[in-house]
Structure 1
């Protein structure tokens, strides 16, 4: 599933970034060499990161 259409970032990319230590969407996007543009994706990206952090705990 596409999380960010502005940057063509997929759900698996955000989840992988979270597993690698990204604690917020800005960090996740930066790890992919991108930055948020319109911001519509940030709530969903936060949710995905929270899921990954909860699963790791």
Structure 2
């Protein structure tokens, strides 16, 4: 799904950027241009970043919770 129409950025591209270490809207704007023109995509892009972070935290928590 397209998130940023101004720059043609999809949710998959935002997730890939997050997997590569992008963790803020400022970084996302520098990398992909998201949120730098009209700004309508900012809320959705921010939510995608949050979802990606929470899934990373859950994976780490599950790993740490397993007995040695």
Which range, TM-score by smaller chain?
0.7 to 0.9
Determine the structure 2 residue equivalent to 1:37: 37
Residue 15 of structure 1: CA displacement?
Answer: 0.7
Q: Which has the higher contact order (CA 8 A, sep 6+)?
A: 1
Determine the structure 2 residue equivalent to 1:28: 28
Determine the structure 2 residue equivalent to 1:6: 6
Residue 19 of structure 1: CA displacement?
Answer: 1.2
State the alpha-carbon separation in 2 of the partners of residues 30 and 11 from structure 1.
16
**Which structure carries more helix by proportion?**
2
Instruction: Give TM-score, length-normalised by structure 1.
Output: 0.85
Determine the structure 2 residue equivalent to 1:16: 16
Which of the pair has more CA radius of gyration?
Answer: 2
CA RMSD of superposed structures (Å): 1.3
State the alpha-carbon separation in 1 of the partners of residues 6 and 26 from structure 2.
14
Instruction: Give TM-score, length-normalised by structure 2.
Output: 0.73
